[in-house]
Structures are given as structure tokens and as C-alpha cells.
Amino acid sequence: MSTEDQEFNLRQRLSGLSRLPLLRGAKVAGEAERLQQQLARLQTDTSDEAIWRSVELARHPDRPYTLDYVARIVDDWVELHGDRGRADDGALVTGLGRLDGRTIVVIGHQKGRDVKERLDRQFGMAYPEGYVKAIRAMEIAERFGFPVVSLVDTPGAYPGVAAEQHGQGGAIARSQAAMARLTVPTVACIIGEGGSGGAVAIAVSDRVLMQENAIYSVITPEGCAAILWRDAGEAKKAAAAFKPDALHCLELGVVDAVVPEPDGGAQLDHDAAAVLLEAGLAEALAELDEVPGEELRRRRRAKFRGMGVFA
């Protein structure tokens, strides 16, 4: 799709927004302004190099992970461990906390900082046990009316023999189904790698945000290159072809807004990145505040059922 087409699409979304019935006038105006800023950025850089830079920053070893953000923006954090069936998956954390003066449920992928923690947390690749734990956290949210905030950061669900035997595909499907049933507000943000089914499993949300340098994709660039180019070394070409960067995801209507990062990327300043993320999450939650639960669910399903481009 050409840059002109992308601009046209964004402008269409902007004009659509200005026609929305003003439920909360200020918020909609804010949304339009944010999209306009993003439109300005889109004109600057969507080159193949910029896309690959996103891939590298999204995977940067110093990038803040879920628990780094939780420590900075969530008060009274209580982590909930275990799926009550088989195990506790370190690659996917769940818990209760307070954000912007209210109790929320947090579900997020978690990578490790050092070698031992990385192994313990399987490099952020969850087993089915992780998704079952996420469903358990969603049930708590639904029962008590707490909003669900998902932080997505995974290369993909764990590709192992035990993961298959424990039902990886089914767990991912049921986690999405559980999200499609919720009548509480749900906001997801892709904070690093949004890798395939393992990512979307916890991102069937009313508002899906994406950090400026995050990526969201159906397969890793290496995996795509190995299959279509028969050479994992062609990852850069693959990324340029399937465009996992935030601006393209915004333009395709897959994410609702892009959350800015500090200059140079979130890895350079965790505190500043957390402030920006908190603002994004709080604003998205505020937008959903007054929508009745059944209506939230109806709109959420309509949004996802409208996704795709076909002839």
C-alpha cells in the first residue's frame, strides 16, 4: 500500500472520528488530536530500515518488561501465581493492583533479565498453563468488575513437546474466548514483541494500544523468512514485507492508538516510558468508563469481527 493510500486511510479514520456521537467530547477530541500527530509521523518514516529498527528495539535486552512497568505504575501489587491445575508459568504473570485510583487485573508476558531468569521464564514464551492462569485472572476481573490491563511481550507461545501435550492451541483459543465474553473494560498494550497467537491470546481487548517501537506480527521475521524465503537470514526482508511496526498496525486498524516512548526508545529511560504508558492506559480506561458492560462486549466483538481486508 502506498504512503498516499495510508494517509488517505488515516484521514478517513480521522474524519470518521469527528462525526462520532460525542459521548465524551473531550476524549474524542483527544483521540483525533493523537491520530493527527500520528499522521504527521507517518509522513516521516515507514521505510524498511525504520521497520527493522522497531524489530530491534522491541527485542532490546534493556527494554522494560511487564514487571518493570508494574513496579512503576501499579500500586498495592499482589501477584497471583499458578493455574490451579498444574503449574505456575513464569512467562506470564497475573495479579491485582491499583491504577489511577482503581483496582485492576494485570495480565502480562514476562521475559527475564539475566540468563537464569530468562530460562526460568522461558524467554517470555508461555505454556498452556500461563494462558489458563490468565483465564483465571479474567474470571476474577469479571466477578468483581475490575478492568483488565494486558501487557503483551512475547516472541510467541512456547513451541515444545510438553506444551503441545498440555494443549497449547486450545489454551490460546479459550483465552481469547474468555476475553470475548468479559463485560468489564479491557485494555491491552503491546510493549515489546507481539508474537502471534501467544500475543493475541491476551489482547482481545476493547482498546489495543501499541508502544511506538513495539512490533505485532503473525510470525517472527525469522520464522517467516525460513518458510517463505527458505532462509532465516532473510528476516529483514520478511519484516519489510509483513510490516509489524506500530504505524502499519495502526493504519490497518489492528491497534487503536500508539503510545509514545522516550526519545531513542523505552530501553533508555524506564521511568519516562512508564509515565507515558500509564497516561495511555488511564486515558483508554477513562474512555470505556461509562459504557455498560453488555455494550462493551458487543462493541468489542463487532470490532474484532470487522477485522480483515478482502475483496
Q: How far apart are CA 62 and CA 210, in angstroms?
A: 18
DSSP state of 54: H
Which amino acid is residue 112, in one-letter code? G
Q: Which of 109, 111, 207, 300 binds another protein (CB under 8 A)?
A: 300
| CB nearer another protein, residue 70 or residue 249 | 249
CB of 190 to another protein, least distance (A): 10
Residue 76, all three cell numbers:
498495592
Q: How far apart are CA 266 and CA 213, in angstroms?
A: 8
Angle at 113 between CA 219 and CA 105, to 5 degrees: 70
Residue 7, all three cell numbers:
494517509
User: Does the protein bind another protein through residue 309 (CB under 8 A)?
Assistant: yes
Residue 311's Cβ-side half-sphere holds a number of Cα atoms within 13 Å equal to 0
Q: How far apart are CA 26 and CA 29, in angstroms?
A: 5
User: Does the protein bind another protein through residue 137 (CB under 8 A)?
Assistant: no
DSSP state of 229: I
User: Does the protein bind another protein through residue 89 (CB under 8 A)?
Assistant: yes
| CB nearer another protein, residue 27 or residue 181 | 181
CB of 88 to another protein, least distance (A): 4
CB of 276 to another protein, least distance (A): 23
Q: Residue count of the chain, please give it.
A: 311
Match 526460568 to its residue by C-alpha cell: 120
* CB neighbour list of residue 262: distance below 8 Å, 6 or more residues apart: 268, 269, 272, 273, 276
Q: Which of 180, 99, 181 is nearest to 147 (CA)?
A: 99
CA terminus-to-terminus distance, the chain: 15
| CB nearer another protein, residue 102 or residue 298 | 298
In whole angstroms, how large is the CA radius of gyration of the chain?
A: 18
CB of 84 to another protein, least distance (A): 12
Residues 196-225 that bind another protein (CB under 8 A): 196-197, 199-201, 203-204, 216-219, 223-224
Q: Are 196 and 168 in contact (CB under 8 A)?
A: no
Query: x/- contact string, 150-179, with another protein (CB under 8 A)?
Result: -------x-xxxxxxxxxxxx-xxx-xx-x
CB of 302 to another protein, least distance (A): 8
* CB neighbour list of residue 21: distance below 8 Å, 6 or more residues apart: none
Query: x/- contact string, 11-30, with another protein (CB under 8 A)?
Result: --------------------
Q: Near another protein by CB under 8 A, which window of 35-43, 55-63, 242-250, 277-285?
A: 242-250
| CB nearer another protein, residue 35 or residue 219 | 219
User: Does the protein bind another protein through residue 296 (CB under 8 A)?
Assistant: no
Q: Near another protein by CB under 8 A, which window of 49-57, 69-77, 135-143, 240-248?
A: 240-248
| CB nearer another protein, residue 208 or residue 259 | 208
Q: Which residues bind another protein (CB under 8 A)?
A: 1, 81-82, 86-90, 93, 120-121, 127, 129, 157, 159-170, 172-174, 176-177, 179-181, 196-197, 199-201, 203-204, 216-219, 223-224, 227-229, 238, 241-244, 248-249, 252, 254, 300-301, 304-305, 307-311
